[in-house]
Amino acid sequence: MTVIIGPNGCGKSTLLRSLCCLLKPLSGYVSLDDQPLTALPTKKLARQIALLLQTMQAPSGITVANLVARGRFPHQSFMHQWSREDKLAVETAMKETGIVEFADKTVDSLSGGQRQRVWVAMILAQRTEILLLDEPTTYLDIAYQIELLNIFRKLNQQQGRTVVAVLHDLNQACRYADNLVVMVKGKIIAQGEPKSIINQALIKQVFDLECQIISEPVVGTPMIVPC
């Protein structure tokens, strides 16, 4: 699981958008399985890469169940309509994110945290090999933050899916990242296992924060304590 950190405006969201063809690089290209992403049909790309943006807009009046079901759209075709597999994917995603009770409610009627869980359920229902997550824990209570991060880690470790997430909570980033990417002003300045790259000097350089680095008491990952 790769986690990207950095100050506001450093290019984290731009990087994620470039990785799924929402933005075109000024030079070079992004490839998947030795193919430029721009050469892939949109639906095929959506069967391989799911993207959760910071802000997502639902159609007015749409129900939770119908929005989550839209995650299956890339798998639909003239010859392949709604199937038992699609139904199972939607049901599983809704259970994993704890939104089954909201199935018939409109997305508009939910709180910010509840809506965020609906969007996460939609990309889980998409069942892609690659998940790009831009601040997936936004608006969520701490218990749901940890629950979702555990889901993403499970998808990565047990199902082999690629997970790339932007997180603002540095201690969560250190705890969940196998590979931590640190960005400043559009450039990657450090990358690697959190234990090998996180230190006081780096946090000061990136976030202008004086801190102490201690070992997290449960899992032993770096824990950043402001001075």
Q: Where do the DSSP E strands lie in 40-197?
A: 49-52, 130-134, 162-166, 179-184, 187-192
Task: Indicate whether 177 belongs to any domain.
Answer: yes
How many Cβ atoms from other residues are within 10 Å of residue 20's Cβ? 19
Task: Indicate whether 212 belongs to any domain.
Answer: no
Nearest-angstrom CA–CA distance, 167 and 145: 11
**Phi/psi at 34 (nearest 5 deg)?**
65, 20
Query: What's the pTM?
Result: 0.92
Nearest-angstrom CA–CA distance, 150 and 42: 29
User: Which amino acid, 119?
Assistant: W
CATH number at residue 127: 3.40.50.300
Q: Tens digits of per-residue pLDDT, 123-177? A: 999 999 999 999 999 888 999 999 999 999 999 999 999 999 999 999 999 999 9
What are the average pLDDT values for consecutive 10-residue runs of the chain, which has 227 residues?
Answer: 97 94 89 89 92 92 97 82 91 95 97 94 96 93 93 92 97 98 97 98 98 97 97
Look at the chain and report how many structural domains it folds into.
1
Q: What confidence score (pLDDT) does residue 82 get?
A: 82
* Residues in contact with 90: Cβ distance below 8 Å, sequence separation at least 6, in sequence order: 65, 68, 69, 71, 72, 125
Host domain of residue 121: 2-193
Task: Indicate whether 154 belongs to any domain.
Answer: yes
